[in-house]
Structure 1
């Protein structure tokens, strides 16, 4: 009888899509623990959906142009990521971030997954029920089906998890 070969999975780069919801912050907390354990790097990703132009009216309002909205959203996301990356560095976790703009959130996640050569994806689901996931589908569900690497899908409990920067003494 031959011995079975045990293959251990040790991710080197973990992609974590973040929408700044409590659910995605909880996924980041789990990913950072895994990064510490495996000495892996984290790549944080936020995808800003492009807003459609409908009958010549740009959303969210005609008074706030789309380009300005996207630039402000991108700047806000980058600022939030700088705080998260600093917090993670304090925990000994190396992290980078990407802010993407596009209509296809799933496509953007998959593109960054490939471009960054991530070997694990940690993503949260907010556990939506009712008609919304039936009509719109779940981003997490689509990513799980299409990703070509292992995916850790976390369903967040109703309590909120918040990463707070440590106070320097």
Structure 2
């Protein structure tokens, strides 16, 4: 199996950092392009907008700015070696955005941390599944899930 491009989905957690480290090792070994993706959850954006009484555009701009700062801090903490990393910040439903970008970018591998229950109840997890599980079901390429 050969990997020319690897997409890593991150929520900036420690588990995502461990997944990113594993992806860097693979990218170095295969001389692959490495893409780091963070998805701003559209549902969270909508709820926050109505809660704060701001427009969706204002909240989206604020969340994107925050995500850019978090992405820079994440890269500073977890990036190692000389592998170049492209970063993308998208907005939407996380599992859908990961799947869409993986297909659009024709990546050979998706790497994810144990996204399981961040911000979700056990009931939601049982009935709806994790982001990683949904991505595995949607993509034809391999998905490497790094547990917590």
**TM-score interval, normalised by the smaller of the two chains:** 0.7 to 0.9
> What runs of 5+ residues in structure 2 fail to find an aligned partner?
none
Number of the residue aligned with 1:74: 64
With over 3 angstroms needed to count, the CA separation of the structure-2 counterparts of 1:113 and 1:65, relative to structure 1, is same
After TM superposition, list the pairs within 5 Å mapping 1:9-48 onto structure 2.
9-48=1-40
Q: 1-side partners of 2:116 and 2:94: how far apart? A: 18
Q: 1-side partners of 2:21 and 2:111: how far apart? A: 10
Q: 1-side partners of 2:51 and 2:108: how far apart? A: 37
Q: Within the alignment, does 1:109 sit opposite 2:98 as a pair?
A: yes
Q: 1-side partners of 2:122 and 2:66: how far apart? A: 31
> What runs of 5+ residues in structure 1 fail to find an aligned partner?
1-8, 157-169
Q: 2-side partners of 1:138 and 1:87: how far apart? A: 24
With over 3 angstroms needed to count, the CA separation of the structure-2 counterparts of 1:118 and 1:109, relative to structure 1, is same
Q: TM-score, normalised by structure 1?
A: 0.74
Q: Within the alignment, does 1:52 sit opposite 2:52 as a pair?
A: no
Query: CA offsets, 1:66-99, max 9 Å, x none?
Result: 32221121122223334517963x6111110111
Q: Within the alignment, does 1:92 sit opposite 2:82 as a pair?
A: yes
With over 3 angstroms needed to count, the CA separation of the structure-2 counterparts of 1:154 and 1:82, relative to structure 1, is same
With over 3 angstroms needed to count, the CA separation of the structure-2 counterparts of 1:86 and 1:131, relative to structure 1, is closer
Given that 1:85 and 1:96 are in contact with CA atoms closer than 8 Å, whether structure 2 keeps it comes out as no
Q: How big is the shift at 1:31? A: 0.6
Structure with the largest fraction of helix: 2
Q: TM-score, normalised by structure 2?
A: 0.83
Specify which of 123, 138, 149 is matched with residue 141 of structure 2.
149
